[in-house]
Amino acid sequence: MTPKSIERYARHLVLKEIGGAGQNKLLRAKVAIVGAGGLGGPVALYLAAAGVGHITVIDDDHIERSNLQRQIQFKESDLGASKAEVVTQYLLDQNPEITVRAMKQRLTQENANTLLAGQNLIIDGVDNFQTRFDINNASLSLNTPLISGAVGRWDGQVSAFSGQNPNLPDGPCYQCLVPRPASHLVPQSPQATDNCNTLGIVGALVGIVGTVMALEAIKILVGIGLQTSGQTLMGRLWIYQGLEAKSRTLTLPKDPNCPACSKNPNSA
């Protein structure tokens, strides 16, 4: 690291869990963030600030005025611009030492593996089930760990999945949690209904949930707590209830009949 880098990351370097070795892991890491909106924005900002060296921002959407209530990475003068491009420039302004690329594409079943190949970690910040399932399938196919977040009204949740990476403990995948849209969901899950367009959402919630996603990403990239049960959200679900200021964490079982990760799926 250069003297400027040492100064920039000084607060990480004095943490025994990160230190110089951990910071160098972050600087070498490659992370794809799918969705540059309410969740993807704070994740991207904190990972760039943390020194994650290579960030890919994937989003085909454009900025609307209704986004500004919660997506604080955007401003009035950005209306109509590409979310991916605006976030990318924001990250480069924040930390010119890293590499950031914008991909103004919608992730689909057909292009998911191509868009996400070569990453150390995938961040799911999208708001529809089909794209979440496509991201999950790519995570499994590429053996790349995945962090997924969801929000609605006053509640949010975060979970992390190994992507069947051989270097990580085996566990459930996203479809072990959500086998099909709007079915078999954790009670009060914000995914039980559509999205914030129909649910409504308090703006500050995405900052809380997105920041937890970023924190989990840093732990996974550095390797903190991965082999110790209960120290990360790998294979667990964190649920936050904003109105009550309560949170709880549940262990997620691996579904032996999961349509995505089971060797003998039975989705009937």
Pairing of strands 99-103, 54-58: parallel
The pTM score is: 0.92
* pLDDT tens digit sequence for 7-18: 999 999 999 999
* CA-wise closest residue to 88 among 38, 45, 29: 45
Cα–Cα distance, 178 to 107 (Å, whole number): 19
Find the angle CA(131)-CA(134)-CA(138) to the nearest 5 degrees.
Answer: 140
| Tens of pLDDT, residues 237-246 | 999 999 999 9
| DSSP string over 202-222 | -HHHHHHHHHHHHHHHHHHHH
Assigned superfamily of 3-251? NAD(P)-binding Rossmann-like Domain (3.40.50.720)
**3-state class of 251 per DSSP?**
strand
pLDDT in tens, 177-232: 998 765 444 444 544 445 677 778 999 999 999 999 999 999 999 999 887 777 89
CA distance 106 to 21: 35
Cα 18 to its chain centre, rounded Å, is 20
